[in-house]
Chains A and B, each alone.
Chain A
Amino acid sequence: MPSPLHVPRVNNNDDSVRIVDLGVKEGDFVTRGQIIGAVETDKAVLDVPAERDGYVLKILHRMGETASVGSVLLWLGEIATERVPDQAPPVATGDATGATHRPTAKAQAMLRELGLDADVIPASGERLTVIDIEAWLATQRMPARPPGSLAPVASEPTPGVSGEYVELSGEERGMLSTVLWHRDQAVPAYLDVEYDPKPWNDYALRYGEQNKLLLSPLLALLAFRLVELAKVTPRINATVIDDRRYQYQPVNLGFTIQAGATLYLAVVQDAQNMSAARFIAALGEVQRHAMAHKLRPAESSGATLAFSSMARWTVSRHVPVLPPYTSLIVSHAAPRTSGSAVMGASYDHRLLSGFDVVQVLQALARPPA
């Protein structure tokens, strides 16, 4: 008796998928478990296995086509001449991935660590477990990765151009994990406010002269002001964990540092307890360590809030990527030819509204009285 093979669901959010591979044609004989094609969404690619042995009687979708989840992809039959029913059988749920299975706590932690979406991983029981994730990783030919790194959401199709694989460096892996968190976990948004940079420049110049500083303290003072603002606006020093706001106790200020070809996010821990002078010294210390490529572990992890400047390269606006588990990164830029400048921020819209961020930026745009 002919039986339909339905278009599977890849994740809960997509009710249609794109047919990206169909390795069979009508009349072919397939065996149970044989991969007969693949479907994809923006998030993942999923192989489609045959659910039984049989002949491909009729194919209802073509390569490149977008198909509704649960619609019939093709018909299989015991003999090649079987007649396909005129009417399709009841639509299957198409939940080929076990997407509705709630992850266990350990599985949830592993998903977070690896930057994976629970919706794309099938569960073997009522709950999605660590074993399920490891089994799925094995099918994706992706090794389980150590804590602190993230795996791609799904294996990428190989481009049809000759080339070779090159392992990513530690810094490149760090960048990858950051952008994947930004893309897959946060709901990033960006805005900026225009301001007059002169009062800040004058303030930093006076501060530097009074304290006989070798380096301009402008960026350090701006970053310190951000720390001070976090103390009165704790929402900017938080993230979202399990649908709840996770409010950090310390303010660990992440500061981007370009050292040669390497971009670091150096971290000043417990900045909330520091005076301006101590913060400037602490930041100077981690900057020197970054420049020498000798950051200590505590100086390169645990940022709860971040600051980035591209003024050095005369960039007049930039949209930074949110470091993992932060809700705000301020972007400082070079003045425009008009003399004004923009103070911007990328933020996690799950926690902060544009209004929240504008208020912080407007306060940050003015030096302390």
Chain B
Amino acid sequence: MTRSTSHASLDREAVKAAIRSRIIELAKALNIDARGLGDADIIPATGLLDSTAILELVVWYEQTYDFPLKQEEINIDNLGSIDAMVDFLLSRKRA
């Protein structure tokens, strides 16, 4: 289930909480507890999500925030951690 979120409702803490919640949900499907994930932790390096789950996270992120990504934007710098994902989204939406 996805939904779009308007620019006006983009609150940093709310976005962070939503991303965290989605990561925990995706990890749970793999029988992994991701509640201890730190905001700055590099998600692929933690091993909490496999590549397919990270891909699901990226697709959810695009759809939820109405934020289509270019393939070259999908990298560690932009989307590697919860903090990076929030920063990248807000910087683009507010630009």
Measuring CB to CB, which residues of chain A are less than 8 angstroms from any residue of chain B? 208, 211-216, 218-219, 258, 281-282, 284-285, 287-288, 291-292, 312
Contact = CB atoms under 8 A, between A and B. Distances in A.
B58 interface: yes
A288 B62 CA distance: 10
Given A216-B44, A292-B63, A287 B77 contact: no
Given A214-B80, A281-B72, A312-B50, A291 B44 contact: no
Nearest to A293: B59
Interface in B30-68: 44, 50-52, 54-56, 58-59, 62-63
Contacts, number: 46
A214 B50 CA distance: 11
A284 B75 CA distance: 11
Contact of A291 (B55, B75, B79, B80): B55
Contact of A284 (B50, B56, B74, B80): B74
Nearest to A217: B51
A312 B79 contact: no
Give the interface SS of chain A, mostly helix, strand, loop or mixed. helix
Contacts of A208: 44
A287 B63 contact: no
B9 interface: no
A208 B79 CA distance: 14
Contacts of B56: 291
Contacts of A282: 71
A184 to B, nearest CB: 32
B75 A213 contact: yes
A76 B4 CA distance: 74
B17 interface: no
